Amino acid sequence: MLAEYDVIVVGAGHAGCEAATAAANLGSSVLLITMDMNKIAQMSCNPAIGGIAKGQIVREIDALGGYTGIVTDRSSIQFRMLNRSKGPAMWSPRAQCDRMVFSAEWRRVVENTDHLDMWQDAVVGLLFENEKVVGVKTKLGIDIKSKSVVLTNGTFLNGLMHVGRKQEMGGRSSEPASLGISEQLKSIGFEVGRMKTGTPARLDARSIDFSVMKRQDGEEDFHQFSYLTNHVDKELIQRPCYITYTNPEVHSELELGFEESPMYDGTIQSTGPRYCPSIESKLTTFAEKKEHLLFLEPEGETTHEYYINGFSSSLAWDIQLNGLRKVPGLENVKMYRPGYAIEYDYFAPTQLFHTLETKLIENLFFAGQINGTTGYEEAGAQGMMAGINASLKVQNRDPFTLKRDEAYIGVLIDDLVTKGVDEPYRMFTSRAEYRILLRQDDADVRLTPRAFELGLASQERMDLLTEKIEFRNKLIDFCKEFGVKPKYINAVLEDLGTSPLKQGMKFYDVILRPQVHIIDFIDTILPLRELLESIPNRRDEIVEAAEVLIKYSGYIEREKLIADKLIRLERIVITDRFDYTSLQSLSTEARQKLDKIKPETIGQASRIPGVSPSDINVLLVLMGR
Amino acid sequence: MLAEYDVIVVGAGHAGCEAATAAANLGSSVLLITMDMNKIAQMSCNPAIGGIAKGQIVREIDALGGYTGIVTDRSSIQFRMLNRSKGPAMWSPRAQCDRMVFSAEWRRVVENTDHLDMWQDAVVGLLFENEKVVGVKTKLGIDIKSKSVVLTNGTFLNGLMHVGRKQEMGGRSSEPASLGISEQLKSIGFEVGRMKTGTPARLDARSIDFSVMKRQDGEEDFHQFSYLTNHVDKELIQRPCYITYTNPEVHSELELGFEESPMYDGTIQSTGPRYCPSIESKLTTFAEKKEHLLFLEPEGETTHEYYINGFSSSLAWDIQLNGLRKVPGLENVKMYRPGYAIEYDYFAPTQLFHTLETKLIENLFFAGQINGTTGYEEAGAQGMMAGINASLKVQNRDPFTLKRDEAYIGVLIDDLVTKGVDEPYRMFTSRAEYRILLRQDDADVRLTPRAFELGLASQERMDLLTEKIEFRNKLIDFCKEFGVKPKYINAVLEDLGTSPLKQGMKFYDVILRPQVHIIDFIDTILPLRELLESIPNRRDEIVEAAEVLIKYSGYIEREKLIADKLIRLERIVITDRFDYTSLQSLSTEARQKLDKIKPETIGQASRIPGVSPSDINVLLVLMGR
Ligand SMILES: Cc1cc2nc3c(=O)[nH]c(=O)nc-3n(C[C@H](O)[C@H](O)[C@H](O)COP(=O)(O)OP(=O)(O)OC[C@H]3O[C@@H](n4cnc5c(N)ncnc54)[C@H](O)[C@@H]3O)c2cc1C
Ligand SMILES: Cc1cc2nc3c(=O)[nH]c(=O)nc-3n(C[C@H](O)[C@H](O)[C@H](O)COP(=O)(O)OP(=O)(O)OC[C@H]3O[C@@H](n4cnc5c(N)ncnc54)[C@H](O)[C@@H]3O)c2cc1C
C-alpha cells in the first residue's frame, strides 16, 4: 500500500472490480479495499450472468474494455441466447457460471492489473476536507489518502438478514456487515434509504430426482459475452438446468409459515425487487396462480450444489424445506442452507450526477447496489462508469457519460439519477426508448471507439472492431450487388419453406425474408463462400451483424431519426442556469423536483417524474428557444 | 437435512472434514455443519502441508483412508522431501499448496461422500440428556438431533484478533467468531483455557525483487502424500519459494512498535506456540541474533499473493510494513494485508479419552485446535480419530486407538490426553520414542491393514499395499541371495565414490554402504532390472522401502525390541481398577494426577508428569505383578 492513491475503491464486488480495473487501466493509481480477498466478485445470489437486457449490459461493459464478459466466458457452464424467436433487439445472452471459477478469474484479472493495489480491510468512514473526500478510514485504524473515492458496498451497509423470526447482522450469509459509513454520510446530509433482497435455498443434487423434471441444455454455438477472441484458455464442462413447478400442496405448506414470516409480521419494512419476488410474495400477489416455475441451476462445473431459482424466501427454514418437499422431484430433498432475505442501506441515486459523482461531496462516487439497483450486471456497469469518471476527474479530463440511445448503461444511469428508485432497480428492455439501437450484437460498434479514444479499450479490441465493420459492410454490399437467379437458389428456398423466386433479384431482397439466412447459401453461391472464408475472426458474429442490419434496417433507421430529434433537446445544457425555486411559472412539484435533481440537460429535465411538458416549455422559453 | 443423524460434526476445517468423511465412510449418517460452505478446509495460515513430523502424520492419515494427503497431492504447487540428508526416520514430505484449489478439492471430497450431508449454519450450543450429548442448537434456531457430536471449532471459539492496538472479534480474518459453546461447556464443568496463534502479512509479488533472494525449487521425483496411484487428474504449475533474511535495521524498525504491541502491553495474556513464534517474540527471545530466516511462499498456482513465513506478527500494520521494507528484496513491498494474532478458547485435552470422547459427557468428541494443538496435520489426524470413534460408538463397535509405536497419531493423542498442554502443541519427531518405526515410507504398512479391517481403507488401498509388500520382500530377498562380482560392478562403485570390491559378495552387503542405492545397478545387473521392471505400481517407492529396511535393519530391530518390552507394560489395563484418592502409598501429586487423568493403562500412567516410577511400582504391586 502507498501513502496516497488517485482513486480508492471500497468493496471488490461486481461494481468495485470494474471500477478499480477501469480507473487503473486509465492510468490512475488505484487501491481496492475489500473485507475478504477470498470473496472477490462473489455471486451473492444465483450463479448466472446476463439474461434479458442484462446480457446487453454485459456486452456493453465488454465493448468498453471491462471484464465481466471475459470472466463470464471463462467460467461459463451453460450458455444460451434468450429470446432468439423474437427480433434482435430482444436477443439476450445468458450464462450459468461456476461460482468459484468466476470469483477466481475476477481475482486473477484484478491482481494482474497495473497501477492497481489491493488491501484487505473494512472501510469504516470517509475523510473529508472542504466538502471534498480525501480518503478513507479503515477498521485496522488506518487513514489512507486519495484524490477520489468510489463506494461500492453492495448489500453490506448495515445489512440485516432474516430467516423466519431469526435475524442476524451481516452483509451476506456468514459475512460481517459494514457499519459506520451510512451513519457518517447521513450526518452530513445524504439521503439514506433501506431496501431488501432475498435468495433461495441451496440444494444437494444427490437428493433430487431430476428424471421427473424437464432438462434444459445450453446452446453450442458461437455466441459468448466478450468481443475478444482468445480469452478463454479452458472451457468448463457444460451442465444442464432443470425445470419444475410448484403446486397447491407446496403453497399450502408455505402458507403455514406466513405468520412467522418477517415479511408479514412487519419485521421487514423495506421494499424488495418487484420483478424478483420471494415465493411468499408470489403466493400473495398472484393468489390465483396454481403453479410457479422453478429452475434448478448448478452452482459449478462439478459441485452437487444447486440453486433453486424462483424460490427465494425468508420463511422459517423448516417451512421452506416442507414446501420444497412437495415439489415434484424434490420429495427427499436435502438443503445445504435455507433461503434468506437481507435488508440494507442505499443512497437515493438522485443525489448523483451522470458521472456517478455525488452532488454533495466532490470526488466521491457511488456505484452498484448502494445506488438502489439489483443485479451483478447493473452493478458492474455502474462500477465501470464510476471508475472511469473518478480516474478522468483526477486527471482533469472531461467526464465520460453515455446517452440513452447509445447504451443500456446510459438508460440505467439516466433513470437512476433522474427518476430515482422506489424499489430495487433492475434493467428491462422496456426501459429503453431505442431498443433496436441497443442490441447485443453491436455494443462494440456503439461503444468501443469511444472507449478506445478514452484509452480504455485496447488496440486489439479496436482492431477486431475495425475488421468486423469492414467485413460486415463488405458482406452487406455483396448482398446489395449480387443478383440471384431462380434456378440456382430456388431449391434452397424451398428447403427453407419459403416461396421460390419467379425472377432474378438482388440477394439482399432474398435475405429480407424471415426464414432466410445468409449462411444457408454458403454452398450455393460461390463468391459468397469466398467472401465468408476470407473473414479471419468471428465469422459467425459478423454474418449475424450484417444480417441484422439488412433485415431490420427499416426499424433501425426510424429509431435513429427519433433519437436524433430528441437528442437535440437532450443536448441543451441547463446545468447551473436556473434558480428553480424562484421560477414561479413552473408548477410547485416541478420547482421542487428540478431543484432537487438539478438536471444537466433539457432532456434529463423532461424525464423527471412530475415535470410536465409545459414546465419544459417554460424552461425553453426562458432560454429564448 | 434429516431429523436425526448418527454423528454431527461441527466445523468443516481440517479436523472436521476428516472427522465427517471418516464417520460417513464407516457407514454412519453424518451431518457436517459449518459457517461458510465457501471456506471448507480453509488454510488459515500458510498454504503448506507436511514438514518435519507433520508430513509423517499426513502419510498416516492417508494410510488410514483419510483425505488430507489426496487433497494435498491435487493442490500441490511445490513438493519437497525435507531432511533427505538424514536417516529415513527424519525424512518428511512437505508441499506448498494452492490455497483455493485445496479448499475446492476438499469440498469435492466432502460433497461426494455417501451418508454425509452438509448444512451451512453456526452451532451455538449442544443438547444434552442424562449427561449425554444428543444434538446441537444452531444460530438459525434449529435443534438437530444426533447420537454423537464431534466439535472441531478451530480458532473460532470466542476468537479475538489483534493488530497493534486494534482488536476485533472473529474466528479468522473477516470471519465471525463462534459464541456460546465454550460458555455452555464451562458451565457444566469443562476446563476451558485460552491460547494464541498468529499469521504474517500477505505480500504482492509484483512489488518484490526476487532477484536478490535465494530461489528454492521443489523436487521432481516420485514422492507424494497419498499411497494411492491415480488420484491426481491434473498437476498444477510448480512454483519456487524464495529465501531472505531480516537484519538489524529490520529489527530496529520493528522494535519501534513494541510499546503499542498487544504482546507487550499485556493485552494478549494467552500462550502462543513456542515453536512458531512471532517475529517480535524472536527479537526478544533471541536478542543476540542479527538475522532471522524468511521464506517467501506463493499462495497458489497463478496468484501474486505471497506468504512471508517467519514474519508472523501482531504489531501495528505500519510497523510491520516499515520492518518488511528493510528486508533485502522488499524495499518497495506492498502488503495485501498485515499479519495478526488471534486468541481463542481451547479445552484442556486431559478431559478426553484416547478415543477423543470427553470423560464428562458421553458421545461428545473434541478434535483439532480446540484440544490445544496447532497445525492442519495435527487437526486432521485428531478429526479422523474422533470421527472413527464417534462412528464406532454409535455402531456399538470397539474403539479404535493407535499406540505410540504405531503412529505419530498415537503419540499425538497419547501426549494430549495424558500430559495435557500448556502451549499450542505441535508434533516433532523428538516427541516419538520410536521414530525409526514411524517412518513416512511405511505408514501404509503400519496402518492400512488396521483401517482395512475397520472398513475404512478401501480394497484398492489394501491391494496396493499387498503388492508393495510382496515386491519389497522379493527385492530384499533378491539382494540377500544375489552375489556380485568385482569385475561387473566395480566401475559403478567407483563412479559412486566408494571403494571397489576385492572379492565377490552378496548384493545386500553392497547396498549397506551409504553412498550406494539399488537403482544405481539397474543397467549393470540384468536380473535386478527384470525384477524392477516387473513391479506394476509405485516402483520407486517400493525400491525406497526395501532399501530403508536393508540399510537400517539394525536400528529398526533394536527399536522394535524396546517397544515390545514397553508395550507389555502398556497393555496392562487399569481403567476403573483403582480409587486413587484412597491409595495412601502413592505420592500426593500422583494421587491427584492419576485421579484427574484416569489412565487406561500402566503405560499411560507412567507418562503422566508427576507420576514417578515408584508410584508405578505401587500400582503393579497392588495388581499382584
Ligand atoms: C441475499 C442476496 C440475494 C440477492 N438476490 C438477487 C437477485 O435475486 N437478483 C439480483 O439481480 N440480484 C440479487 N442480489 C444482488 C446482487 O448480489 C447484487 O446486485 C450485486 O452483487 C451487487 O454488486 P455490488 O458490487 O454492488 O455489491 P456486492 O456484490 O454486494 O459487493 C460488495 C463488496 O464490497 C465489500 N464491502 C462492503 N462494505 C465494505 C467496507 N466497508 N469495506 C470494505 N469492503 C466492503 C464486500 O465485502 C463485497 O465484496 C442479491 C444479493 C444478496 C446478498
Ligand atoms: C491467524 C492464524 C494463524 C495460524 N498460524 C498457524 C501457524 O503458524 N502454524 C500452524 O501450524 N498453525 C497455525 N494456525 C492454526 C491452523 O490454522 C489450525 O491448526 C488448523 O486450521 C486447525 O484446524 P481445525 O480443523 O481444528 O480448525 P479450523 O481450520 O480453524 O476450522 C474450524 C472450522 O469450524 C467452523 N466453525 C467454528 N465454529 C463453528 C460453529 N460454532 N458452527 C459451525 N461451524 C463452526 C469454522 O467456520 C471453520 O470452518 C493458525 C490459525 C490462525 C487462525
* CA-based nearest residue to B137, from A166, A434, A464, A143: A166
Read off the pLDDT band of A266 (50, 70, 90): confident
Nearest to A26, CA basis, from A9, A50, A51 = A9
pLDDT band at A567 (very low <50, low <70, confident <90, very high): confident
Contact A321 B1 (CB under 8 A): yes
Half-sphere exposure of A388 (CA within 13 A, CB side): 26
Cβ neighbours of A395 (radius 10 Å) = 14
Question: Confidence class of residue A267 from pLDDT cuts 50, 70 and 90?
Answer: confident
Indicate if the alpha-carbon torsion angle B388, B389, B391, B396 is positive or negative: positive
Selection from A413, A201, A161 nearest residue A312 by Cα: A201
CATH of domain A202-340: 2.40.30.260
- Angular region, A488: left φ>0, alpha ψ -120 to 50, beta rest: alpha
Q: Do A303 and B118 touch (CB under 8 A)?
A: no
Question: Is residue B137 within 8 Å of B143, Cβ to Cβ?
Answer: yes
Residue with cell 456486452: A59
The answer to whether A296 and A313 are in contact (CB under 8 A) is no
Nearest atom (ligand 1) to Cα of A54:
11
Residue A242: closest CA among A305, A296, A312 = A296
Q: Which is nearest to A67 in space by CA: A376, A354, A297?
A: A376
Count, residues in chain A: 625
Which residues in chain B are closer than 8 Å to A165, comparing Cβ atoms? 141
Q: Given an 8 Å threshold on Cβ–Cβ distance, is B36 in contact with A304? A: no
List the grid coordinates of B236. 498444477
- CA distances B503 to A48, B332, B519, Å, are 76, 65, 22
CA-closest candidate to residue B152, choices B367, B332, B304: B367
pLDDT tens for A326-367 read 999 999 999 999 999 999 999 999 999 999 999 999 999 999
Report the relative pairing of strands B92-97 and B123-129 from DSSP bridges. unpaired
Strand, coil or helix: what is A282? helix
pLDDT-based confidence at residue A565 (cuts at 50, 70, 90): confident
Q: What is the Rg, in whole angstroms, of the alpha carbon atoms belonging to chain B?
A: 26
Q: What is the CATH number of domain A572-622?
A: 1.10.150.570
Interval A218-246: pLDDT, tens: 998 889 999 999 999 999 999 999 999 99
In this complex, do A120 and B337 lie within 8 Å of one another by their Cβ atoms?
yes
Domain B459-554 falls under CATH 1.10.10.1800: yes
Nearest Cα residue to A449 out of A428, A466, A426:
A466
Q: What is residue A607's three-state secondary structure?
A: coil
CA distance A152 to A18: 10
Question: Nearest 5°: phi and psi at B53?
Answer: 65, -35
Of ligand 2's atoms, which has the minimum distance to the CA of residue A174? 47
Q: Point out the ligand nearest to the CA of residue A11.
A: 1
C-alpha atoms less than 13 angstroms from C-alpha of B40 in its C-beta half-sphere: 25
- How much distance in Å is there from the Cα of B500 to the middle of ligand 2? 56
Of the residues A116, A174, A236, A315, the best mutation for testing chain B's interface (the one with the most B CB atoms within 10 Å of its CB) is A174
Query: Alpha-carbon distance A428 to A424, whole Å?
Result: 13
CA torsion angle for A534, A535, A537, A538 (degrees, to 10)? -140
- pLDDT-derived band of residue A3, with 50, 70 and 90 as boundaries? confident
Give me chain A's average pLDDT, please: 94
Task: Flag if B140 and A166 touch (Cβ within 8 Å).
Answer: yes
Task: Find chain B residues with C-beta within 8 A of A304's C-beta.
Answer: 111-112
Are the beta carbons of A140 and B175 separated by less than 8 Å? no
Task: Please answer whether residues A171 and A155 qualify as being in contact, where contact means their C-beta atoms are separated by less than 8 angstroms.
Answer: yes
Q: Among candidates A125, A110, A126, A133, which has minimal Cα distance to A31?
A: A110
For residue range A479-502, what is the model confidence (pLDDT) as tens digits? Answer: 999 999 999 999 999 999 999 999
* Ramachandran angles phi, psi of A480, nearest 5°: -65, -35
- pLDDT value of position A415: 95
Atom of ligand 2 at shortest distance to CA of B198? 3
pLDDT higher at A112 or B270: A112
Instruction: Point out the residue among A42, A302, A337 whose CB comes nearest to the CB of B119.
Output: A337
How much distance in Å is there from the Cα of A122 to the middle of ligand 2?
A: 22
Distance between CA A600 and CA A592 in Å, rounded?
16
Alpha helices by DSSP H, listed for A440-535, are 443-454, 459-481, 486-495, 507-511, 526-533
Identify the band that residue A615 occupies on the pLDDT scale cut at 50, 70 and 90. confident
Pick out chain B residues at pLDDT < 70: none
Protein residue closest via CA to atom 9 of ligand 1: A375
CA distance B477 to chain A (A): 47
DSSP code at position A446: H
Q: Angle B507-B512-B513 (CA atoms, 0-180°, nearest 5)?
A: 105
Helix (H, G, I), strand (E, B) or coil at A512: coil
Residue A90: the pLDDT is: 92
The domain over range A4-47+102-196+344-426 is classified in CATH as 3.50.50.60: yes
Q: Which stretch of A299-308, A390-399, B610-619 has the lowest confidence by average pLDDT? A: B610-619
| Rounded-to-integer distance, Cα A460 and Cα B193, Å | 61
For ligand 1, what atom is nearest to the CA of residue A14?
A: 25
pLDDT tier at A12 (50, 70, 90 boundaries)? very high
Say which of A174, A305, A338 has its CB closest to residue B176: A174
Decide if A141 and B165 are in contact by the 8 Å CB cutoff. Answer: yes
Distance from CA of A34 to the nearest CA of B (A): 10
Q: Which residue of B has its CA nearest to A112?
A: B304
Residue matched to cell numbers 454425509 = B116
The residues, ordered by sequence, that sit 6+ positions from A378 with a Cβ below 8 Å of its Cβ are A54, A57, A368, A412, A425, A426, A427
Q: Chains A and B: how many Cβ contacts under 8 Å?
A: 111
Integer angstrom CA distances of residue B510 from B482, B524, B556: 11, 14, 19
Q: Which residues of A are annotated as a binding site for FAD?
A: 11-16, 123, 178, 369
Confidence at A391, pLDDT banded by 50, 70, 90: very high
CB-CB under 8 Å, B118 with A204: yes
Buried b or exposed e, range A432-466, using 16+ CB within 10 angstroms: bebbbbbbbbbbbbbbbbbbbebebbeeebbebbe
Selecting from A140, A304, A335 the residue whose C-beta is nearest the C-beta of B163 gives: A140
Closest CA to B498 of B485, B509, B482, B514: B514
Is A424 in contact with A197 (CB distance < 8 Å)? yes
CB B371 within 8 A of CB B348: no
Give the 3-state secondary structure of residue A558: helix
Question: A335 to chain B, minimum CA–CA distance in Å?
Answer: 6
Chain A interface disruption, residue of B111, B306, B315, B340, most A CBs within 10 A: B111
B382 lines ligand 2 (CB under 6 A): no
pLDDT at A518 over 80: yes
Phi, psi of A241 (to 5 degrees): -105, 170
Return the domain boundaries, chain B: 4-47+102-196+344-426, 202-340, 459-554, 572-622
For the CA of B374, the closest atom of ligand 2 is: 19
Residues of A in contact with B38 (CB under 8 A): 38-39, 42, 100
C-alpha Rg value of chain A to the nearest Å = 26
Handedness of CA A70, A1, B75, B153 (dihedral sign): negative
The closest of A427, A421, A372 to A57, measured between CA atoms, is: A427
Cell of A361: 461531496
CA of B43 to the centre of ligand 2 (A): 8
Three cell numbers, residue B409: 497419531
Binding-site residue positions of B for NAD(+): 272-286
Q: What's the CA gap between B445 and B465, in Å, rounded?
A: 7
Q: How far apart are CA B225 and CA B76, in angstroms?
A: 10
Query: Residue B617: its pLDDT value, please?
Result: 84
Reading the block at residue B176, the C-alpha cell is: 465471525
**Given an 8 Å threshold on Cβ–Cβ distance, is B140 in contact with A104?**
no
DSSP code per residue over B32-49: EEES-GGGTT--SS-SEE
- C-alpha–C-alpha distance, residues A270 and A268, integer Å: 6
Which is the closest atom of ligand 2 to the Cα of B342? 1
Q: Across the interface, which of B122, B174, B316 has its CB nearest the CB of A176?
A: B174
E strands along B288-447, which residues? 293-298, 305-309, 335-337, 340-347, 364-366
pLDDT band at residue A589 under the 50/70/90 scheme: confident
**CA of residue B363 to ligand 2 center, whole Å:** 23
Inter-residue contact B343 to B268 (CB < 8 Å) = yes
User: Which residues 6+ apart lie within 8 Å of B187 measured at CB?
Assistant: none
Lining ligand 1 with CB less than 6 A are A 10-16, 33-36, 39, 44-45, 122-123, 152-156, 171-172, 178, 181, 197-199, 276, 312, 342, 368-369, 374-376, 379, 426
- Chain B residues whose beta carbon lies within 8 Å of the beta carbon of residue A164: 141
